[in-house]
Structure 1
Amino acid sequence: MPAYLLFLREAPVRDAAEMAIYGEMNRSNPRDPKLLPLSVYGAIEALEGEAPDGAVLLQFPTAEDARAWYESPAYQAAKVHRLKGADYRAMIIQGL
């Protein structure tokens, strides 16, 4: 059953240098073959409530695969820079 990892950036980037480090670390890590990016900072049209500043939606075959990618040492090392650079929420959403 597919699962989705959703990142919501709550406000504009506060430290572009940290976000650049985060991006470079993600690009330099080997790409998980189970990860399928569905939307990466695409246009957002809020239908209810306030839209986040940005959103990333990643698909994985299972929630366990999503959690394994998120908890991997490589992503955890990059995550430090994302959290220094901007305010985010992250969640795993179980698909149908």
Structure 2
Amino acid sequence: MTAYIVFERDTTEDQQALDRYAAHADGTFEGHPVTALVDYGPHEVLEGPPIEGVVVLQFPDRESAKKWYFSDAYQKVAQDRFRGATYRAVLVDGVAAQA
């Protein structure tokens, strides 16, 4: 079943660290079946506190999503994301297609 990783950026702490992350994050997708569906496009918070941005990545299944997220390549790059901002990352399954 299709799975998604949703990143929600709450607050920026270090813009230079986020810039380094942004410069290298896409390179971690190589060899992984990932499609970026949302990449910090315009958003409107309908409930809850304000956020700065959202990214939604699509994978064929949970295993593929976790393989990318926990890969050495991504975890190395993610250190700048951790230093740069407060994020929430959620892995969620899609809905099975109905016949």
Q: What TM-score, normalized by structure 2, do the two folds share?
A: 0.87
Structure 2 gap segments, 5+ residues each: none
Matches within 5 A, 1:1-96: 1-11=1-11, 13-29=12-28, 31-96=30-95
Q: Is the 8 A contact 2:38 2:56 kept in 1?
A: yes
Shift >3 Å, 4+ stretches: 27-30
Q: What TM-score, normalized by structure 1, do the two folds share?
A: 0.89
Please tell me the residue identity of whatever aligns with 2:76: A
Larger strand proportion of the pair: 2
Identity score, percent: 37
Q: CA deviation at 1:80?
A: 0.5
CA distance in 2, matches of 1:40, 1:32: 20
Q: Is the 8 A contact 2:10 2:52 kept in 1?
A: yes
CA RMSD of aligned residues (A): 1.4
Q: CA deviation at 1:8?
A: 0.6
Aligned residues: 95
SS at match of 2:19: helix
